[in-house]
Amino acid sequence: MILRRFAEAFRRQDWLTVTVETLIVVLGVFLGLQVNNWNESEKARADERVFLQRLHDDVIEAEARSARLRERRFRQRDGIVEGMAVLLGQRERQILTDEECAFIAFSHDYVLTAPEMPSFNELLSSGRLDIIRDRQLVSDLANSSKRSKFSPIGVVGALATSTRYRTNIRR
């Protein structure tokens, strides 16, 4: 319909009508693009909120796993110290308990594992890091992910020391 009116106005050389019709089309396309961009932005913000919540849950779980691992390692250390005290004659008893014996036997087996962040790995593999507006947080996540492969501090330790993480995730 608008094309027919445009063609008729063009044949009649009614330039005002041609200009108005052209502006209506251009304005309609422009507004349509703006609405689409706004909708995409809102969708990205919603995805960001979901991701940040999942990342927060991952960090809480990783902190709990790290705390359990730390507790186990402290118990192992205490068992080794107590067992060595028995072996060196610093205790009245002269026989190791089964637990102390196991702690000493496996004292050389010290595996440093860094907790995984499934939500970040998923976001990274899907190529959707752009939904996170805070570039510093993305950088901290990427750096801590690299460090986690080589360092016992891992993702949780690196993020826990990050001021950006504390302000963005731990609300």
- What's the rounded Cα separation, in Å, for the pair 96 and 103? 10
Report residue 116's pLDDT band, with 50, 70 and 90 as the boundaries.
confident
Q: Which domain holds residue 43?
A: 2-8+15-168
Stated pTM of the model: 0.60
pLDDT at residue number 151: 47
Q: How many domains does the chain have?
A: 1
% of the chain residues with pLDDT over 70: 80
- What's the rounded Cα separation, in Å, for the pair 120 and 137? 11
- What's the rounded Cα separation, in Å, for the pair 56 and 69? 20
CB burial string 64-87: b at 16+ within 10 A, e below: eebeeeeeeeeebeebeebbbebe
Nearest Cα neighbor of 158 from 79, 168, 166, 104 is 166
